[in-house]
Amino acid sequence: MANCEHTFIAIKPDGVQWGLVGEIIKRFEQKRFHLVGLKFMQASEDLLKEHYIDLKDRPFFVGLVKYMHSGPVAAMVWEGLNVVKTGRVMLRETNPVDSKPGTIRGDFCIQIGRNIIHGSDSVESAEKEIGLWFHPEELCQEDGVVVRGRYGIRQWIFMVRFCFILVLLF
- Mean pLDDT is highest, among 9-23, 97-111, 112-126, for 9-23
Residue 94, annotated as binding a ligand: yes
Q: 105 labelled as ligand-binding? A: yes
Q: Is residue 12 a known part of a binding site?
A: yes
For the CA atoms of the chain, what is the radius of gyration? 18
pLDDT band at 150 (very low <50, low <70, confident <90, very high): very low
**Residue 60, annotated as binding a ligand:** yes
Other CB atoms within a 10 A radius of the CB of residue 10 amount to: 23
Contact 116, 104 (CB under 8 A): yes
Q: Which of 6, 34, 51, 118 is catalytic?
A: 118
**Start-to-end CA span in the chain (Å):** 28
Q: What is the pTM of this model?
A: 0.80
Is 115 annotated to bind ligand? yes
Fold category of 4-169 in CATH: Alpha-Beta Plaits (3.30.70)
Closest CA to 91 of 40, 161, 15, 154: 15
Domain boundaries, the chain: 4-169
pLDDT in tens, 10-56: 999 999 999 999 999 999 999 999 999 999 999 999 999 999 999 99
Q: What local confidence, expressed as pLDDT, does residue 111 receive? A: 73
Q: In the annotation, is 118 catalytic?
A: yes
